[in-house]
């Protein structure tokens, strides 16, 4: 699961689920998502990624 800063409730909700990794967009590496079968991204994280990549 990919979250952005300030989404502590999402982090707390998902961090103890088996086979679920929670990563902040500021700590994201390509290797974090390369082997992922499914990628869940919060709306806020998409916005932050767009800003980081210059798309928004």
Beta strands in the chain (DSSP E): 2-3, 23-24
Structure-token pair, residue 31: 């290797």
Rounded-to-integer distance, Cα 3 and Cα 39, Å: 11
pTM listed for this prediction: 0.78
Number of domains, the chain: 1
Is the model more confident about 44 or about 54? 44
pLDDT single digits (tens) 3-48: 999 999 999 999 999 999 999 999 999 898 898 899 999 999 999 9
Structure-token pair, residue 29: 């590496």
Enter the DSSP assignment of 12. Answer: H
Structure-token pair, residue 2: 């990919």
In terms of residue numbers, what domain contains 13?
2-53
Task: State the pLDDT confidence band at 56, using cuts at 50, 70 and 90.
Answer: low
What does the pLDDT read at residue 55? 64
């Amino acid at each position: 699961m990919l979250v952005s800063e300030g989404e502590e409730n999402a982090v707390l909700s998902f961090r103890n689920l088996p086979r679920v990794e929670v990563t902040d967009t500021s700590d994201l590496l390509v290797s974090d998502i390369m082997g992922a079968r499914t990628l869940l991204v919060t709306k806020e994280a998409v916005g932050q990624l767009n800003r980081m990549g210059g798309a928004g």
